[in-house]
Structure 1
């Protein structure tokens, strides 16, 4: 489980051949010439916990160990005092087996599944709201200068999204510095990879910001809260239930973060408006996170 260093304190998901596929296609009109474009590859990954098959996820194939750990953690299938002994990945069988020293009872969870609004399709086992009772996130201050710097940096970072589109990115940040960047066909998968990295590295979330290209739905808010991260920001929109949950747990929720604008839906009292908005450039079209093929 290694990552490629982009700078001294910036880790980004690599661009593995398994996550890219080049096809030769023909345009829709008779005069169009054949051209090569990059498209994202999907592949199944089956996650096991102590010998029990849990789920098969569609993913781009990178960081399977982080994805499995983060998924099980965010599904509350790993107990707080449970130790992960081994994580075995078999590329040929497309499986990950997580082995622990605990006896967490996950059979009851497997009896109830909720298909969420997550793309690719998201699944939550058991009660979606489990773990949020009494949870209050730290009231971490957020400087608007951090948000503008993060958006500027992330939008210019080389990524599969900029190369091929049809994929979501999630970035774990501290103040105005991106730390870990993960991508996947489902935004929930990208978040789970971040959660798996945090669990593996023993990294706390109380001083972090989570940035995503995806919508701020209830599932995204719940996962961020359970990861202990007090700030969630996105360039996309939001749902009413996502906003409601964010307000209940004290999560600072920021959506539609593009160029000079953003919308703060929860935790506005924690914003420190230290940036001169007039000095923030509008988002250049060539730096927008859209498909490289237009």
Structure 2
């Protein structure tokens, strides 16, 4: 269940009347790593194992799926608990400075992202035509059934230039991307020839997640922040935004968006 129905009083045409609405589900997901609490995310509760692992991967707690020795997810007392056990010490040498990011729910990063990930260079060999970008953005919109019912979620997808492979939706675009990250990580899905197509503003933490996964092309139906553009140009990720009405902006490219 990813939504609930309520009856509200709707004002329209100069008066009030009862109206049914559908609200997206919001439930806390607490992630514990080797018995230590890492973070509590607010999410719909869909595919919590992928979301938990994806968050840990994108925040550099995990580097290989072989490090995971146990993964147990359960729902109790109105929340979801994800307990992850590893064979390594994920806390060793970590900087635990907490940053408040620009995303919904005040997502966290732990002091490492900008300085470490911005040194990476993405060299994935993928080529995409403008009409393929427009078609994938249109498909993302058409698949957004939960958004159509609730107006309360973001959508992200893992794609090749020709097709959409994974589609995920959640309260925040961070969660949706982490779900994709976790699924690729656990199932050994290759990503250097893939794209992320998503909704929502592209703030720096979104780009850093995609860079850490290793996906060379990030496309959003919304715009990017100035810091995101700077990081895209440092890392070599192809960044496309404001896809709508048959148009889009290419903030940065390494020849992956074909000109003709």
| TM, length-normalised to structure 2 | 0.92
Q: Contact 1:204–1:228 (CA<8 Å) still a contact in 2?
A: no
1:131 to partner: Cα distance? 3.6
Give CA-to-partner distance per residue, 1:122-158, whole Å, 9 cap, x none: 1111222254254111153222122122122222124
Alpha-carbon separation, structure 1, partners of 2:116 and 2:208: 9
Give the 3 Å change call, closer, same or farther, for CA 65–228 of structure 1 in structure 2. Answer: same
Tell me the residue number matched to 2:97: 112
Match of 2:108 among 115, 123, 128: 123
Give CA-to-partner distance per residue, 1:4-61, whole Å, 9 cap, x none: xxxxxxxxxxxxx1x1011100113673321111111211110001111111111111
Match of 1:236 among 206, 210, 222: 222
Tell me the residue number matched to 1:26: 9
| TM, length-normalised to structure 1 | 0.82
1:269 to partner: Cα distance? 3.3
Query: Comparing 139-148 with 254-263, which one deviates more in the overlay?
Result: 139-148
Tell me the residue number matched to 1:253: 239
* Structure 1 residue 66 corresponds to structure 2 residue 50: yes
Find the residue that maps to 1:204 and give its secondary structure: coil
* Structure 1 residue 177 corresponds to structure 2 residue 163: yes
Pairwise CA RMSD: 1.8
Find the residue that maps to 1:243 and give its secondary structure: helix
Alpha-carbon separation, structure 2, partners of 1:132 and 1:201: 23
Q: Contact 2:129–2:259 (CA<8 Å) still a contact in 1?
A: yes
Find the residue that maps to 1:32 and give its secondary structure: strand
Alpha-carbon separation, structure 1, partners of 2:185 and 2:144: 26
Alpha-carbon separation, structure 2, partners of 1:203 and 1:254: 23
Q: Which runs of 5+ in 1 are unaligned?
A: 1-16, 275-294
Q: Contact 1:120–1:185 (CA<8 Å) still a contact in 2?
A: no
Alpha-carbon separation, structure 2, partners of 1:60 and 1:84: 24
Tell me the residue number matched to 1:151: 137
Report how many residues are paired.
256
Alpha-carbon separation, structure 2, partners of 1:237 and 1:57: 24
